[in-house]
Chains A and B, each alone.
Chain A
Amino acid sequence: MSSENLAREVRELCLRLCHKHRASHIGGAYSVADILAVLYQDILEFHPEDAGWEGRDRLFYSKGHACTALYAVLEKKGFFQNLLEEFSVDGTYFTSHVNHHIPGVELSTGSLGHALGVACGTALAGKTLGKSWKSFAILSDGELDEGSNWEAFLFAPQQKLTNLCAVIDYNKIQSFGRIAEVLDLEPLADKLRAFRWQCLEVDGHDHQALRQALGDFKTGKTPGPLALVCHTIKGKGVSFMENQLAWHYKSPNDAQLEQGLKELAAHA
């Protein structure tokens, strides 16, 4: 399967999940869907039947609220196969902020600004123990308001964490409004470079560009700590969700499900 197809399937599943279970945050799931698809299709090493395999690459998903995208990609890659039925059902581990009891999920998140520091600690352990696996953190843009992330941004280059990559899903919208209006992050790349990170900017929906940047990191051609700033569109893939803050919260009704599925199929 191509990463493009995986991304489309992930978006379809997210849509069904949010429709069936009245779940939120589809906008943030769609902005990160292509990033996850490229990572899981072409970059990360893992064994779905042995989720805790020691040699796996570690992926820390900091934007835990956009859980549907991670759950969906893990299901598509074979970590489990009951997502649509069990998501957010009483008694299951499919909480609507990602849960480490789910195979393939490294860290429970949902409180912002946690995962990068943990990814740093894991990368430090990997370095100390001489491991070849890599540590990835996927961050939202809004959570860069959190000082804990800047502590981690200071820490990683000090410890020369060449095995660490922070992927920033820069969709320019946070829960109350546009980033530029709530707490502007610009010039974001300058900030990260001033914190002594290698920083690359890509179109976060361009699979080829993502593959190139992430692949170069994975092979060691681009050493970390690498910040990959992915310019994305919240709600990407379904026209009426794109760049709409409301889809941070809304879940699709029957008509919207049908319309969304139709639009996604058209991309096939």
Chain B
Amino acid sequence: MRSTFLSTLLDVAKHNDKIFLLCGDLGYSVLEPFAAAFPQRFLNVGIAEQNMIAVASGLAKEGYNVFVYSLGNFPTLRCLEQIRYDVCYHNLSVKVVAVGGGYSYGPLGTSHHTTEDFGVLRTLPRMRVAAPGDPHETAAITRYYGSLAGPGYLRLNKTGEFCVHPQSLEPVGPTTYCLKKGKTTAVLANGSMLQDVFQDPRFELNQWALFSVPFVKPMDLDWLVGLAQEFEELISLEEHQLSCGFGSALAEGLMDLYSQGKISRVPRLKRVAIPDVFVEHSGSQAYLKATVGLKL
């Protein structure tokens, strides 16, 4: 995903001289092609995330659309207040890109587990929050962000993800993808969980529908209305804490629709997410996901 992100951004930047890329001294062996192609529009600001967001804001004020690349919690939680005030409040074109979503840097320990990002960023007005499920979604969202004025957040997994979609996707912005039709139960996968669902034998055995839902925010409420009408049960999967994440956003959306009379019944919603714990031992992404029960 990270290489797809970079190659897409490179292509976007070829046609848009307002694309700027900042990094916080992370992205070794990933970002170099961009730095080589656009030395005037690339900068490693050092290991200083608060300043990185502030500098991005200053560049954005002068017309750039600034992508800020670092790892997991560093361009997000560590400089959250700068994102809130400098970027979102001023509605500046800064796109925060975090590699290492969820447990993709599992063995590096808890500092590198990115499992609360949706929650903190989702509450910020104007912020979009996305975690693509495969390289095609990564490319589509990167292109969308490349043309979008205002803030955005892109959570990448790491590397080695296979393509779930058969071909490249239009950069239409927040949308959902129906990957398999089914009845009674719909599986809603966000980010890297899409990869897992595809490899889960239980999924093959059941007549479940499958949707990929890369955007945690904004949530497509019309789509939710359709789901509520069609399915009895929804299963959401995310590599994030149970509170304030993707499943939470679905639950909130369904409740709001119900209270507004836009749906007459609320389907059962089973939320697969991290049960409010830190994982404190070493382990690969797959191992850690299994440890906390992230499976269908």
Chain A residues whose C-beta falls within 8 Å of the C-beta of B57 in the assembled complex: 117-118, 121
Q: Does A119 belong to the interface (CB within 8 Å)?
A: yes
Chain A residues whose C-beta falls within 8 Å of the C-beta of B89 in the assembled complex: 108
Measured in the bound complex, the distance between the Cα atoms of B54 and A158 in whole Å is 16
Q: Provide the A104-127 mask, 1 if CB < 8 A to any CB of B, else 0.
A: 001110010110111111111110
Instruction: Check A122–B61 contact: CB distance below 8 A.
Output: yes
B58 contacts which of A108, A125, A129, A158 (Cβ < 8 Å)?
A125
Chain A residues whose C-beta falls within 8 Å of the C-beta of B63 in the assembled complex: 125
Instruction: Check B54–A114 contact: CB distance below 8 A.
Output: yes
Instruction: Check A123–B40 contact: CB distance below 8 A.
Output: no
Q: Does A91 belong to the interface (CB within 8 Å)?
A: no
Residue of A nearest to B63 (CB): A125
Chain A residues whose C-beta falls within 8 Å of the C-beta of B82 in the assembled complex: 114, 117, 148
Instruction: Check B61–A118 contact: CB distance below 8 A.
Output: yes
In addition to A118-B86, A151-B51, 11 A-B residue pairs with Cβ atoms within 8 Å of each other are: A107-B90, A114-B54, A117-B53, A117-B54, A118-B54, A120-B58, A122-B62, A125-B58, A129-B62, A147-B50, A151-B48
Residue of B nearest to A60 (CB): B58
- A positions within 8 Å CB-CB of B: 100, 106-108, 111, 113-114, 116-126, 128-129, 135, 147-148, 151-152, 154-155, 158-159
Residue of A nearest to B66 (CB): A121
Instruction: Check A119–B51 contact: CB distance below 8 A.
Output: no
Chain A residues whose C-beta falls within 8 Å of the C-beta of B51 in the assembled complex: 117, 120, 148, 151-152, 154-155
Measured in the bound complex, the distance between the Cα atoms of B50 and A154 in whole Å is 12
Instruction: Check A151–B50 contact: CB distance below 8 A.
Output: yes
- B positions within 8 Å CB-CB of A: 40-41, 43, 45-46, 48, 50-51, 53-64, 81-82, 85-86, 89-90
Instruction: Check B90–A125 contact: CB distance below 8 A.
Output: no
Measured in the bound complex, the distance between the Cα atoms of B81 and A128 in whole Å is 27
Chain B residues whose C-beta falls within 8 Å of the C-beta of A128 in the assembled complex: 40-41
Instruction: Check B85–A111 contact: CB distance below 8 A.
Output: yes
Chain B residues whose C-beta falls within 8 Å of the C-beta of A147 in the assembled complex: 50
Measured in the bound complex, the distance between the Cα atoms of B54 and A113 in whole Å is 10
B interface SS class: helix
Q: Smallest distance from the beta carbon of A71 to chain B beta carbons, Å? A: 18
Chain B residues whose C-beta falls within 8 Å of the C-beta of A117 in the assembled complex: 50-51, 53-55, 57-58, 82, 86
Residue of A nearest to B48 (CB): A151
Instruction: Check B62–A148 contact: CB distance below 8 A.
Output: no
Instruction: Check B64–A155 contact: CB distance below 8 A.
Output: no
Q: Smallest distance from the beta carbon of A160 to chain B beta carbons, Å? A: 12
Instruction: Check B85–A122 contact: CB distance below 8 A.
Output: no
Measured in the bound complex, the distance between the Cα atoms of B57 and A107 in whole Å is 10
Measured in the bound complex, the distance between the Cα atoms of B97 and A135 in whole Å is 27
Measured in the bound complex, the distance between the Cα atoms of B217 and A196 in whole Å is 43
Most chain B Cβ neighbours within 10 Å, of A119, A129, A135, A152:
A152
Q: Smallest distance from the beta carbon of A42 to chain B beta carbons, Å? A: 25
B54 contacts which of A125, A126, A152 (Cβ < 8 Å)?
A152
Instruction: Check B85–A121 contact: CB distance below 8 A.
Output: no
Instruction: Check A122–B58 contact: CB distance below 8 A.
Output: yes
Instruction: Check A108–B50 contact: CB distance below 8 A.
Output: no
Measured in the bound complex, the distance between the Cα atoms of B46 and A148 in whole Å is 13
Instruction: Check A155–B48 contact: CB distance below 8 A.
Output: yes
**A121-B90 contact, Cβ under 8 Å, with A114-B85, A155-B45, A155-B51:** no
Chain A residues whose C-beta falls within 8 Å of the C-beta of B45 in the assembled complex: 155
Instruction: Check B48–A154 contact: CB distance below 8 A.
Output: yes
Residue of A nearest to B56 (CB): A121
Q: Smallest distance from the beta carbon of A231 to chain B beta carbons, Å? A: 27
**A122-B81 contact, Cβ under 8 Å, with A114-B86, A148-B51, A155-B51:** no
Q: Smallest distance from the beta carbon of A136 to chain B beta carbons, Å? A: 12
Instruction: Check B85–A108 contact: CB distance below 8 A.
Output: yes
Chain B residues whose C-beta falls within 8 Å of the C-beta of A124 in the assembled complex: 43, 55, 58-59
Instruction: Check B48–A125 contact: CB distance below 8 A.
Output: no
7 pairs of A and B residues whose beta carbons are closest in the complex:
A121-B58, A117-B54, A151-B51, A125-B62, A151-B48, A121-B55, A122-B58
Instruction: Check B50–A125 contact: CB distance below 8 A.
Output: no
